[in-house]
Structures are given as C-alpha cells and as structure tokens.
C-alpha cells in the first residue's frame, strides 16, 4: 500500500514533546462522528462547499485541477494580501475565509505510530487509540528494510483513516534520524542508532544535522553550540538526511534549536537553502522545531536580533514554516521595516501549498476515502507490532539456557521493575495504544506466573523489594528478570550521566540469580547501552536479551522469544560501552575521531577501537549460521582524465604512498559495482533469521579515516539444515569512499577489504587508477 501522508524528516531534532489540547482541524468545523443534517466537506475544492460559503469555485484558479500544482499554488498566494499571508506561516495556519481556504494544523507526530503529541491529532471515545509499534531503536535492530516499510505503510494508513474521521491532519513530523554519537544521549530511543547508512536506509523506508545533546550536566539543546568538523558533518551527520531527501523524496525537513559552528540551524542558508533545497533538491518545505526562532532570540541572542530581524533572517535562509507564532506575529513588521521581501514569503507559501495539494487537501483522495475506524488498531497491525518487536529483540548471551521449554518451566517467576511494564514499553512521542500486553501477560500464556516487582520503580532506591523476588525465584521452575531504564532516566531533555543500571537493580539481579532454583533469564529494556558486564560474566544467569522499548505488544514478543516461539535475530544498532567510557570524554565533545591531545577516544564503532561490553551489530541466535561467498570480480580500473586531479592523503610512515592516492568522487565514472553473493547456511536444528552485515575497510596505512564502515545489510530467513543466497551489488564509489580532512568525498586507490559480519569471511578489492 502506498504512502499517503507526508512524513517529515528531521534536521537536528524532533519537535518538542509538548502535549497540547487537540486542535480541531477540519473542513466541516465539527469533530462529531454521528450523522448530521449538515453536510461534511472533506476537501477544499468541493464546488458545493464553495456554494455553501456563497462563493463561486470556478473563479478560483487554484481549484482548477487541470493546472499544475505549481500554477495553482502561485494563483492562491497571489490572491492573498500580506496580512493574510503571514497568518499561514505558523503551524496553526488561520486560513483565508474570503478565498474559501480553511484553517490547517501542520503539527502531527507519528514516530512509531500515530501520536497525540502535537495539536494536529487527538483521540476520543470514537477513536480511542492507534497501534503503537516498538520505538525506533528496536525497529532498527531488526535490520529489515521491508519491515520498516510495512510499518511506515501501516502508520500512514491509520493516519489517513484518522484524517478522514477528522481527528488528524495530513502532515506528520517523523522520524528522528539523527546519528547517535554518544551513548548518554537521552533521545537514542527515537533514532535508528549510530551508523549513518542504517539511519539513512531506515529514513528512506519509513516513509537535517549535528545535534545530540538534550540536557547533560546543565548543557541543553537550547544553548548548545555544536562545534563540528566539516569532515564529520559530511561523513556522518548529513549523510542520513541526504539519503532521505534524495532517495526517499521526503516532503519536509526540520531544523532544530541549537547552533552549529555558531549559527542557529534554522538561520543557516548554507544548510537550508544551499544544501537541502539546492544540492539535495528537496520537494517540499522546511519547518522549524517548535519555538526555535524564539530560542534564537531569547537564548542564543544571535547577533542581537530583534524579533523582526530573526524572522527575516530565517525566511531568507530558507525556513518556510514556523512551528510557533513568530512568523505569524512578526513577519509583517519585518516586511514593513524592509528586512525581508514579500516574495520570500510567497516562495515559502508555494512550497507549503504544493505539499497540501499533493496530499489531497484541496482535491480529495478518492482512493483513500473509504479508510475509517475499522482500519485503525486492526488485527493485522497488532500482529505487525508484535513481529516488529520479535525481529528487533537481540540475544546477547545464551549458555544453553534459551529457549525455555514450556514443559519444563511450568511455574515462572517474572520479577523486576519492568515485569509488569505497560507505558514504559511505548517510550516517548507515543499516542494512546490499542491495548497493552505486559510481560507478565505474555508469560502467562506459557505457564503459571508469580510476579514480584523487585523494585518499586526504575530508580530502585529501596532494596526491601528484593527479598520477595528472591523467594519467588527459589520456588520457580524458571526465573525471568526484567530490568533496565525508562523515560525517567533517558528521554528528550534528559541525557544520562552514567551507563549503569539505576539504584539497586544490579543487586536485585545478582541476588535473585544466586538463589533461583531453575534457569535465569535477564531481559533489559532500554534504548542506550548499559554496562551489564556483571550479568554477562555471571554463570548463574543463563541468558540475556535486549528488548529496547518493544511497543504495545512487547510482553507477548518477549515471552515468545524466551520460549522459542520466535528465534531471535536482531542485532545491536548501537555499541554498548563499558561504564568508564563516560569518564574518558565529555558529551559536548563533537569530533567522532579520537582527539589524542585531550586523550579522548573515538566515537561509534567506526572510530572507537577499545574494548566494549557488546559491539555494534552483535546478536546471537538459537541456531548456527555459516557464510561462504563468491565474487565475480575483485578489482576495478578507473580512468583519471588528468593526474592533476589526484588528491593527497596522509599515511603512516610505514606505508608506501601510491602515485595517485585518491581522486574526488565527482571526477570519476562511478558506474561500477562490487558484485557478490553470500550463501547463508543454517547448520543448526531450528529455523531462523540472520542479518548479513557487509563492511568495507580502507587501504592499510591511511591516517584519520574510519576503521570500517557498513555498506550493506540484508535480513534473510533460512530453514534448518538449508541455505539461502543473498546478492549484493554495491556501487564502488559509495561503498569505498572516504571523507578526507578537507571534507572532500574521495575514492582511495589500493587494496580495500570487503568484510562480511565480524570478519567471518572477507575478500580484497583493488582500486586502480590509470
């Protein structure tokens, strides 16, 4: 099913999680679901609607469907006077009654399901909820592009149904595709992880850039000035956004509160107008994170700008829509003072109305008009939510303990602060779920459950709850401990200061495992990594699972994995660092590469070479997989028109420098591919899914580049004692490029390596210039 709501991709952050009163966007000025003698109009250019307003629709060219959207939008904007124009530039657009243009609320959210965060969407007795899928970090762990696309389609179907029922708009600001640079970042749950390629592919399917400090030791996003090397910007921070604009053809991009290299992102013409609109060719609009212009004036005090200065500066930079009231209140004054031209406003309004026309706001969408209440919280969507959680869950440890047998584990002790989790499972930017299946509900399908909380809450400051949990474990055939974090520890506006479990949770886990009669399984609910080395090394804990924040069906998914109804195949989308990592560098340090002069280590798997608890891409299975590969060609000869085009690179002193170290990607014929097949063999006795991760490593001896980078992945289901072939065709320039110290995208000559998995198999690939 096609996408039919606009999905906004975020430049630097998501909108502020402010739960506001539901704004009643509708054309019929009524939210009632009951029948009425008053005709309800569902799109603007309905001739009978115009007649009811005492207007003749045929006199308005913007309602002429034979014209292009651009022509129609131009006609609509030309008919407005300045006062009317500025009232359409905020998220709550006022409409123009004399033109028959109704109000519209742009702000709706759909991070992992239709949300009531933002005034554009609301739930009530008629539509009490919508499907709440796992948070993005767990969906990313599935490494399954078809799953991401299916979820995006399901969410947009429910969103369109709610629009038809006059309980939502058409524009949804999701997802957050910032790369997780630091394990302490509170918004990791909203993102697809630390690898820019994975983040970008998630963005493309779920349908800008250096921000990941919310509030760390008094440094918050409203004041933060991200000092970013252009090399890191090109290589890591911008890449997912470029992919979603170019490959995903998104309808909108959002700029954030913070500054990058001293300039507020919503006032940076290089980022907004030149890069996103120009170089990437955005077909849509650029919107501010809510109240970002006010933050620019009141917090950043950027260049001493007045309110009128600020709106003029952001309009000229390429910001089309203000989530807030600054454009509405101060743009007319900025025009009167000669600080911005009216044609800048016209340009932004045309971008906005073209998007609404594409979505059917003006002409309707007959193919979707039948969608309604029966298309929300469907059985199929609930099953998809459960499958998404199952596919994302990662098996971290298994000492022949998992899966549990329902015949041997008839009495199950389910203990810990997340044992009866409900709201914690849906994370933030969540709406009202269709229902909750808590872990104790899921395990009750497999045996008799004894539930003990073990901690009063996630903070776990009272150890007196541990003893009842120990008593339950002594009597049970098997014990499942559900521990971890929640929004009181990691969230928007709340970064972590450590990487350990809160309060007495570690004591709870160790003491329960020490006395348990049967096997012990630990399940961690979190977004960011946690140093659970103690559990990894504890022989009394037979299995460990990471379940992220698994959505409304999370309890069922966890139990199904524990009892083998589903064989886990998820992989960690984040590195799980040891606790002392946070002592090595401040969160505000932006470079991804190590900073030797300060003793700072690198960030993400691409630049950190120290020991970790669990690496990026880690994940076990209840079966065993082996790889073999075949390649047709292990080299490429590329012609360089002029050797003056060669770019120099820095090498260590033991490496022989090639005659032409590298060439700019722009100067090469990049129509060459690395073409190979990986045969995945399931040698075990259970069917299962494996994620094939493909990395490239640059030629040996180049200084300042990544250790390795992910260039492809595929999730494949393989039946026991059988095999499946996975074909990869990776563009040479995209797969092997590096970004040099001057932020140029270059292809190095020499011997690259293509690595499958954690160096399970690999092959060399030679790049020759002539």
For the record, the structure tokens of 577 come out as 């660092």
CB count within 10 Å of CB 729 equals: 11
DSSP 565-603: SS------SS-B--GGGGGTS-TT---SS-BTTTTBPP-
- Rounded to an integer, what is the distance from CA 562 to the centroid of its chain? 27
Strands 285-288 and 252-255: parallel
Q: Which of these is catalytic: 289, 309, 322, 495?
A: 289
**CA gap 14, 349 in Å, rounded:** 22
CB count within 10 Å of CB 336 equals: 10
Greatest alpha-carbon pair distance for the chain in Å reads: 85
User: CA dihedral defined by 199, 250, 221, 263, rounded to 10 degrees?
Assistant: 110
Q: Is 539 exposed, middle or buried (0-12, 13-18, 19+ CB in 10 A)?
A: exposed
Name the residue among 354, 439, 331, 264 with its Cα closest to residue 84: 331
Bond prior to 56 in cis (omega within 30° of 0): no
Cα dihedral sign, 165-169-175-176: negative
For the record, the structure tokens of 83 come out as 């006062």
Half-sphere exposure of 398 (CA within 13 A, CB side): 21
φ and ψ of 692, to 5 deg: -90, 115
758 contact partners, CB below 8 Å, separation of at least 6:
615, 617, 618
Lateral strand order in the sheet of 662-664: 646-647, 662-664, 745-748, 738-739
Inter-residue contact 85 to 321 (CB < 8 Å): no
Is residue 322 among the annotated active site residues? no
The DSSP secondary-structure symbol of 453 reads: -
10 contact partners, CB below 8 Å, separation of at least 6:
173, 174, 175, 176, 177, 178, 208, 253, 254, 256
**CA gap 493, 582 in Å, rounded:** 18
User: CA dihedral defined by 182, 185, 188, 193, rounded to 10 degrees?
Assistant: -10
For the record, the structure tokens of 672 come out as 């060459």
User: CA dihedral defined by 380, 385, 388, 393, rounded to 10 degrees?
Assistant: -140
**CA gap 501, 460 in Å, rounded:** 9
Q: What is the set of active-site residues? A: 289
């Amino acid at each position: 099913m096609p996408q039919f709501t606009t999905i906004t991709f975020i430049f630097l952050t998501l909108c502020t999680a402010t739960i506001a009163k539901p704004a009643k966007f509708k054309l019929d000025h009524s939210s009632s679901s009951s029948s009425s003698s008053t005709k309800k109009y569902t799109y603007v250019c309905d001739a009978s609607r115009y007649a009811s307003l005492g207007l003749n629709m045929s006199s308005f060219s913007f309602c002429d469907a034979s014209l292009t959207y651009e022509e129609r939008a131009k006609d609509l904007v030309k008919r407005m006077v300045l006062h009317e124009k500025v009232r359409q530039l905020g998220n709550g657009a006022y409409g123009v009654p004399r033109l028959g243009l109704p109000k519209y609320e742009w702000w709706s959210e759909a991070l992992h399901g239709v949300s009531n965060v933002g005034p554009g969407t609301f739930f009530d007795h008629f539509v009490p909820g919508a499907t709440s899928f796992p948070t993005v970090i767990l969906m990313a762990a599935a490494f399954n592009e078809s799953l991401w696309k299916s979820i995006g389609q399901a969410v947009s179907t429910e969103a369109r149904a709610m629009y038809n029922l006059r309980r939502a708009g058409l524009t949804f600001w999701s997802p957050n595709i910032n790369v997780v640079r630091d394990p302490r970042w509170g918004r990791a749950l909203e993102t697809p992880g630390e690898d820019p390629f994975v983040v970008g592919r998630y963005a493309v399917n779920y349908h800008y850039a250096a921000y990941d400090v919310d509030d760390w030791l008094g440094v918050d996003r409203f004041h933060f000035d991200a000092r970013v090397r252009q090399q890191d910007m090109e290589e890591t921070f911008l890449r997912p956004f470029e992919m979603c604009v170019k490959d995903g053809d998104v309808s909108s991009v959002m700029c954030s509160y913070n500054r990058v290299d001293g300039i507020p992102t919503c006032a940076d013409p290089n980022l907004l107008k030149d890069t996103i609109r120009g170089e990437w060719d955005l077909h849509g609009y650029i919107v501010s994170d809510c109240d970002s212009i006010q933050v620019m004036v009141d917090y950043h005090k950027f260049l001493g700008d007045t309110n009128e200065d600020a709106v003029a500066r952001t309009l000229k930079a390429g910001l089309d829509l203000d989530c807030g009231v600054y454009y509405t209140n101060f743009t007319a004054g900025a025009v009167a003072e000669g600080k911005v031209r009216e044609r800048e406003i016209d340009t932004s309004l045309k971008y906005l109305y073209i998007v609404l026309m594409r979505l059917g706001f003006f002409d309707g969408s007959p193919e979707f008009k039948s969608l309604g209440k029966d298309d929300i919280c469907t059985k199929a969507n609930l099953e998809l939510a459960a499958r998404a959680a199952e596919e994302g869950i990662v098996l971290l440890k298994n000492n022949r303990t998992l899966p549990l047998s329902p015949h041997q584990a008839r009495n199950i002790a389910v203990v810990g602060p997340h044992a009866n989790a409900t709201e914690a499972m849906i994370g933030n930017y969540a709406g009202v779920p269709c229902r909750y299946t808590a872990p104790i509900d899921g395990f009750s399908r497999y045996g008799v459950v004894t539930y003990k909380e073990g901690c009063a809450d996630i903070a776990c400051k009272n150890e007196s709850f541990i003893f009842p949990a120990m008593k339950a474990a002594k009597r049970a055939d098997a014990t499942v401990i559900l521990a971890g974090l929640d929004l009181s520890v990691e969230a928007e506006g709340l970064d972590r200061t450590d990487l350990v479990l809160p309060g007495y949770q570690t004591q709870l886990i160790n003491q329960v495992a020490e006395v348990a009669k049967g096997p012990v399984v630990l399940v961690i609910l979190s977004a960011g990594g946690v140093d659970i080395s103690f559990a990894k090394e504890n022989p009394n804990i037979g299995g460990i699972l990471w379940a992220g924040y698994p959505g409304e069906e999370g309890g069922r998914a966890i139990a199904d994995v524990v009892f083998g109804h589903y064989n886990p195949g998820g992989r960690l989308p984040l590195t799980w660092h040891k606790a002392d990592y946070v002592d090595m560098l401040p969160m505000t340090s932006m470079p991804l590469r190590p900073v030797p002069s300060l003793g700072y280590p690198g960030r993400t798997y691409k630049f950190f070479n120290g020991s970790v608890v669990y690496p990026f891409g880690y994940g076990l299975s209840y079966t065993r997989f082996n790889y073999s590969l075949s390649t047709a060609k292990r080299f490429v000869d590329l012609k360089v028109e002029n050797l003056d085009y060669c770019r120099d690179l820095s090498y260590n002193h033991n490496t022989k420098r090639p005659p032409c170290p590298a060439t700019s990607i722009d100067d090469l014929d990049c129509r060459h591919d690395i073409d190979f097949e990986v045969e995945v063999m399931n040698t075990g006795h259970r069917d299962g899914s494996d994620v094939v991760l493909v990395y490239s490593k640059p030629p040996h001896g180049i200084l300042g580049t990544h250790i390795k980078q992910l260039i492809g992945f595929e999730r494949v289901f393989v039946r026991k004692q059988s095999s499946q072939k996975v074909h990869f065709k990776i563009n040479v320039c995209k797969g092997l490029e590096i970004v040099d110290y001057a932020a140029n995208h270059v292809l190095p000559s020499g011997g690259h390596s293509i690595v499958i998995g954690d160096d399970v198999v690999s092959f060399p690939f030679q790049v020759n210039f002539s």
